[in-house]
Structure 1
Amino acid sequence: MRKPGRAAYLSVATRVTDHECAALDRFVGRAGMRKRAAVLRRLVRFLGDYFAPTPDEEVFLASAEAHLSRLGGNFNQIAGSLSASMKKIGRADPTRQQVEIMLRAADDVAHIRTVLGQMLDNHQIKTETLRARLDAVDPLDEEYE
């Protein structure tokens, strides 16, 4: 039974070549650690958080989600009103306020899309940077053969 407050550990096994193992051991030594497992756990934690949104992005995403939810509610009310108008007079007759709400909503959604596009660009740059760092280790290098 696990002690309270302690993490549950799972085993992950992989096969490496002698050279890869030697490289891992050198990395462990340079990191000032004694165990491969400790270094590998730190690397996994780092990579797990590597693509996590920044605190500012988290705030923006939560705000955007709430704002879009409110817009959905506004659109439902407008749709109900326009549906009633269709039944009464045979055509949709939005009020000036309803039109303004829809125009503001379009601007708000455009802004959200722009910021989300920037966030996506940032994550693509992170991905390319990480890929370049991983590719910098030449697999044909004698050290890794």
Structure 2
Amino acid sequence: MCQAGDAPMKKLKAQQRDQIFRLLRQGASQADIARDFGVHRSTVSRLERRRIALTDESRAGPSVSVRISEKELLEMEEAARRLKFRNRSEFLRAVIRAALSFPELDEGVSTELSAVKASFDRAGGNLNQVARNMSASMKRLGRAEPSAKELAQIYALHDEVIEVRRALVALLGRSQKRSDVLSRMIAEGCDAL
């Protein structure tokens, strides 16, 4: 490692920085990375802070400031606590979305929606396989004759799509409840909570 008075550390290339970002995401220690790349640990630490800042900025978007009274702040924090928001920013984004009629999906809903999408993707892949088999049957026989196995797959896919649809409707209903509370709050004022 370089000590005070040593030659300056080498400058990292973009590819090396990307490798360091990847290693940091994977949980490698800053000391190990610094040793492997021949840089000071503070360089790796600075890159880690930059990676976190870039990630937060990409999620956060532009910032808005507003002055409110102490009473407004207390009421806002109480409403956010009762509605189980993690922080003021999350609460204010939800209020803005409700006021502008944007859909308001929290992290849990987004995760469940990803699972629903995966179920639909899997069902679509299975349906494509059945369609390929029936198309081959059409070429061989001149007509589509699904086998008992293919018919069972079609019925199972039908049932799966109905279940996934029910789960999606329930999920959207749950996510709508909090949005409805926020919309009522905006329409009636904070006393509605």
For the criterion TM > 0.5, the same-fold answer is yes
The residue that corresponds to 1:105 in the other structure is 157
1:25 maps onto 2:79 in alignment: no
Partner of 1:54: helix, strand, or coil?
Answer: helix
* TM-score under structure 1 length normalisation: 0.63
**Cα distance change, pair 81–30 in 1 and its aligned pair in 2 (3 A):** closer
Shift in CA distance, 28/54, structure 1 to aligned 2, threshold 3 Å: same
Distance 1:31 1:100 in 2: 55
The alpha-carbon deviation at position 103 of structure 1 amounts to 0.3
Q: Trace 1:1-145 onto structure 2 (pairs within 5 A).
A: 4=49, 5-6=52-53, 10-12=62-64, 24-28=69-73, 42-48=87-93, 51-54=105-108, 58=111, 60-137=112-189
Compared CA separation, residues 78 and 133, structure 1 to 2 (3 A): same
Q: Under a length normalisation based on structure 2, what TM-score does the superposition of the two structures give?
A: 0.49
Kindly provide the CA deviation profile for residues 71-130 of structure 1, in whole angstroms up to 9, marking residues without a partner as x. Answer: 222222211111121122111000000000110111111011111111111222222111
Q: CA RMSD in A?
A: 3.2
| Contact 2:138/2:144 (<8 A) preserved | yes
User: Identical aligned pairs, as a percentage?
Assistant: 25
5+ long unaligned stretches in structure 2: 1-45, 78-86, 95-103
- Decide whether the 8 Å contact of 2:116 with 2:168 is kept in 1: no
Q: CA deviation at 1:66?
A: 2.7
Q: Which has the higher contact order (CA 8 A, sep 6+)?
A: 1
1:17-51 CA deviation, whole Å, 9 max, x = no partner? xxxx6x6332346789xxxxxxxxx4322344763
Equivalent residue, structure 2, for 1:38: none
CA distance in 2, matches of 1:133, 1:78: 50
Instruction: Please say if residues 134 and 146 of structure 2, whose CA atoms lie closer than 8 Å, have aligned partners that are also in contact.
Output: yes
CA distance, structure 2, for counterparts of residue 31 and residue 72 of structure 1: 45
How many residue pairs get aligned? The number is 118
In 2, Cα distance between equivalents of 1:87 and 1:54:
47
Structure 1 residue 133: Cα displacement: 1.4
Gaps of 5+ in 1: 15-20, 33-41, 139-145
Q: 1: CA distance between counterparts of 2:108 and 2:129? A: 35
Equivalent residues of 2:130, 2:154 under 8 A apart: no
